[in-house]
Amino acid sequence: MKRLVMLGLVVATAAVAYAAAGERLGLEGLLSRFRSDLPTIRSEELPFVYPAHLWRDNIEGEVILRIHITAAGTVDSVEMERSSDNEELDDIALRGAKQLQFHPARQGDENVDVWAMLPVRFQKGSVTTKSEGRQ
């Protein structure tokens, strides 16, 4: 365990030193090519409609989707990573994910295609989603 902690500290220290040296040597432009930004959802209105009959019956669930976001910010593939155990909620999540629009992921100065995990949670309070990192 101590070795893992020590290795983590060495890696973190090396990363900070590398970034500081790059800035000092005027390499910000070069280093920026290796920075990346994750995609973010463009609209605050989500296309997931929680059916009233499921809401009334207290049926809740979370669907975990794996989505492919193109460099243009559109979703061109959706796969179910984990079901909510309710077919209707799963179908709503799958259909809705295809309608999402994103600010695309960036690698340096370029937009890039990425796969991301998207949890869609159906709760009595609201329907929520949050894009999670890349794979």
- What pLDDT is recorded for position 35? 58
CA distance 76 to 93: 15
State the CB neighbour count (10 A cutoff) for residue 110: 11
Q: What is the pLDDT of residues 86-121, one digit of tens each?
A: 999 999 999 999 999 999 999 999 999 999 999 999
**CATH code for residues 36-134:** 3.30.2420.10
pLDDT category, 85, cuts 50, 70, 90? very high
What is the pTM (predicted TM-score) of this model?
0.66
DSSP state of 114: E
- What pLDDT is recorded for position 11? 38
